[in-house]
Amino acid sequence: MVAVPGGSPNQRLSAGGPPDAAMMGGAGWATLTPGARGPAKLGNLIRRLAVRSSTNCRLRRGRLFRERLQPTQADSILDLGGGRGGHIAEIVPYRDNVTIGDLDPEALRRAAQTYGFGTLLLDGGETFPVADGQFDVVFCSSVIEHVTGPKEIVYDLEDAGQFAASAKAAQANFAAEVRRIAKRYFVQTPYKYFPLEQHSFLPFVVVLLPRRWQVKLMRFLAHRWIKPVYPDFRRLTIKEMRVLFPESEIGL
């Protein structure tokens, strides 16, 4: 699901496939016990299918970004939450005009060292250390669903009302900051009701469970499932994205 400003609010976009999640196929897969051959085979199959889907979606998303925003070397581009810079490096050939914004200093060091990107260290505060309209283009992929409040709290927060209030406020502020600093923007997030919840590789019904059950389930699966699961995310609907980015085209 993506938000791109401009055009008719009823115009539909298509990235050509299902949305994916941050850090798909990354480090940290849980180690299965030697006796769990059946679950291991199933887990490996799910992982391969999910990573293949993620790769295809990343390619389609890159094409959609280039087609809709038409970035050039004259544009200042910020990849918000871009980590080590590998995703945006696959999408645009430019280097000098691209900045990676992230909370992780080591990831930023790698982005600068590997690709020559500029870097912007974020502090997790409500206001980005960026002037109004400073960037011509902001690219933000699979980040906003993780903007749910202080991580030392939300990982263990079982009260659904408190978590929802924290997440909604944080996501609204994040969206407002994106709109403030960008002349044009491209914000992607996994769709809430996509059949596979791709942070956890569980069926999407996990997002419909009461919050306390989600936390307990993910604690139980932390070292038993095919990847670690952390209950820090709140997936968004199309309606919610339209509220957060009212001037944008929203599409799956």
Mean pLDDT of the 226-243 span: 87
Percent helix, strand, coil in the chain (nearest 5)?
40, 15, 45
Q: Is-above-0.85 flag for pTM?
A: no
Mean pLDDT of the 41-55 span: 65
- Is the distance from CB of 194 to CB of 204 less than 8 angstroms? yes
Is residue 21 scored above 60 in pLDDT? no
Is residue 14 scored above 70 in pLDDT? no
Mean pLDDT of the 215-223 span: 84
Mean pLDDT of the 132-158 span: 92
* Domains of the chain in sequence order: 2-251 (3.40.50)
Question: β-strand 202-203 against 196-197: which pairing, if any?
Answer: antiparallel
pLDDT value of residue 202: 77
**65-97 residue pLDDT tens:** 999 999 999 999 999 999 999 999 999 999 999
pLDDT range class, residue 55, cuts 50, 70, 90: low
d(CA 49, CA 105): 32
Average pLDDT value for the chain: 82
CB atoms within 10 A of CB 230: 17
Interhelix angle 160-181/211-221, rounded to 10 degrees, is 90
More confident residue, 51 or 39: 51
pLDDT value of residue 166: 94
**Tokens (6 digits) for 109:** 């060091």
Q: Which residues contact 213 (CB under 8 A, 6 or more apart)?
A: none
Q: Which helix (H) or strand (E) holds 243?
A: helix 238-244
**160-175 residue pLDDT tens:** 999 999 999 999 999 9
